[in-house]
Amino acid sequence: MKHLRITGLLLLVPALLMAQQESHHPGGPPVSLSSPRFELPPGTEEVSIPFRLVNQHIVLPVMVNGQGPFQLTLDTGMPAQEIGLHDSGKLEPLHLAYRDDVRMKVGGAGGKGKAQPARVATGVSCEMGGLKLLDAGAIILPPIPGFAAYSDGVIGAVLFRHFTVTVDNDRGVVTLRRPESYQPPDDATVLPLKEDHPAPLIEAKVRIGEGETVPVSLVVDLGATHAVSLNENDRGIAAPASSLAARIGRGLSGPLTGKVGRIRALELGNLTLKDVVATFPDKEYQSPRGMDSRDGNLGNGALNRFNVTFDYAGGRMVLQPAKRFNEPFEWDMSGMQAEPDPEGSVKVITVLAGSPAAEAGIKKNDVVARIGGVKVDAGSYYELREKLRKNGDTVAVELQRGGKPIEVSLKLRRLI
């Protein structure tokens, strides 16, 4: 009997879903439980799939075993060639064929809880944009409050290792091409991309304050909603003095804490993003479950400023500035951090002292009912919280405390 382990991480604030699969031979390549096949529409070398951007996640509609569409998050941080599906009632019509000879565990790389058992299925078929994925595998993941409200799972290496993947953020379309048919545009910035386990790597530079730029090796994680997460070290990477201590995410097994601050610049080849909001995880979360996260993590909060192509076969990441390239980077301006609980309510987990939320009397464990007059639930919260990132706006927030309604007005201001 095979014994495998998947180590998964979901950062909801910001968000990231990663999976690590290990065999009895540590350091070796990930074990593949399936041998997927692909069928493109006759006479074509590529397909295009419209996507939704939800909570900075790229969500693709995918038919699974003829059912759906299932909403799968596209993630370079998913190294397994299987798709991940959240365990729910939606799986019953799929009639999945589970492997009894495989044992697997999933755990929150960012949290401190224990790994949980997971089932594995093979012989799965998927279809997206006319592309058929046959004889695939599926890993059944535990549902995660909030994330599972808008995503049914994750898809990653099974696409990135067989196609060039272009995310056109201007058009809201993902294009999959045969690698041999792809040529970068003449005006594009091309960065060397090293496919590593559990995620690809690039070299970049950051400038924290007024000092010199510092070279950094970053994990490229399309499933992370932050712009960049940096590991503090003795080589010039340190959170700015004005940074705020905050809960910066949640793994399958618990919350992650760290600091949030603004760095002067993030340089990707000849392209520079300025005044970037960066997170700095506490030391115990810098290398979750022993994974080598190098100097940090480049997330979709930065990548969605580009039209970006991941070309694993060519060992390159290709960038062209998108329409959002020069938009300012922002963080929460209310001082209220909230997240969905397993029952679907959105509860306040922290209130920053001296913030608009604190001044309005919001307290930990208050239930957020409405933001700007719109009802809040686990699925809508991540879109509605964007209303709390507009400097100078006044936003009405309705809460429930002890079953009684409370209405407050928040005068938003930059806290970072």
76-87 pLDDT, tens per residue?
Answer: 988 888 999 999
pLDDT score recorded for residue 250: 67
Say if CB 17 and CB 75 are below 8 A apart: yes
Percentage of residues in the chain having pLDDT higher than 90: 69
Whether 117 is covered by a domain: the verdict is yes
Nearest to 292 by CA among 162, 160, 191, 194: 194
Same domain, 264 and 370: no
Q: CATH no. for residue 130?
A: 2.40.70.10
Mean pLDDT on 401-416: 95
Same domain, 294 and 356: no
pLDDT digits (tens, 9 = 90+) for 308-342: 999 999 999 999 999 999 999 999 999 999 988 88
115 residue type, one letter:
A
* The pair of three-digit structure tokens given for residue 175, joined into one six-digit string: 């294009």
Q: What's the distance, Cα to Cα, between the start and end of the chain in Å? A: 52
SS3 389: helix
The model's confidence at residue 11, banded by pLDDT at 50, 70 and 90, is very low
Whether 260 is covered by a domain: the verdict is yes
- Print the domain residue range for 206: 189-321
pLDDT score recorded for residue 17: 34
pLDDT digits (tens, 9 = 90+) for 298-316: 999 999 999 999 999 999 9
pLDDT digits (tens, 9 = 90+) for 253-297: 567 889 999 999 999 999 999 999 999 999 888 765 445 568 999
Mean pLDDT on 235-256: 82
Same domain, 7 and 146: yes
Q: In the Cβ-directed half-sphere of 355, how many Cα atoms lie within 13 Å?
A: 21
pLDDT score recorded for residue 116: 65
The model's confidence at residue 252, banded by pLDDT at 50, 70 and 90, is low
Q: Tell me: pLDDT of 109 over 50.
A: no
Same domain, 32 and 130: yes
260 residue type, one letter:
V
Comparison of pLDDT for 180 and 109, the residue scoring more: 180
The model's confidence at residue 248, banded by pLDDT at 50, 70 and 90, is confident
* The pair of three-digit structure tokens given for residue 320, joined into one six-digit string: 């062209």
pLDDT digits (tens, 9 = 90+) for 30-69: 446 668 999 999 999 999 999 999 989 999 999 999 999 9
Q: Is the peptide bond before 36 cis (omega within 30 degrees of 0)?
A: no
Q: CATH no. for residue 348?
A: 2.30.42.10
Whether 384 is covered by a domain: the verdict is yes
pLDDT digits (tens, 9 = 90+) for 15-38: 333 333 322 223 334 446 668 999
Max intra-chain CA distance, the chain: 63
Same domain, 316 and 361: no
DSSP state of 150: H
Whether 266 is covered by a domain: the verdict is yes
Whether 21 is covered by a domain: the verdict is yes
Percentage of residues in the chain having pLDDT higher than 70: 85
Structurally, how many domains does the chain consist of?
3
The model's confidence at residue 407, banded by pLDDT at 50, 70 and 90, is very high
Residue labelled with tokens 């062209």: 320
Same domain, 33 and 151: yes
SS3 168: strand
User: What mean pLDDT is reported for the chain?
Assistant: 87
10 Å CB burial of residue 353 (0-12, 13-18, 19+) is exposed
pLDDT score recorded for residue 16: 31
Same domain, 353 and 234: no
CA gap 286, 273 in Å, rounded: 23
pTM: 0.89
CA gap 204, 393 in Å, rounded: 35
- Residue 365 contacts by C-beta under 8 Å, 6 or more apart in sequence? 347, 348, 401
Same domain, 158 and 194: no
Nearest to 9 by CA among 220, 249, 251, 247: 251
pLDDT score recorded for residue 319: 98
SS3 318: strand
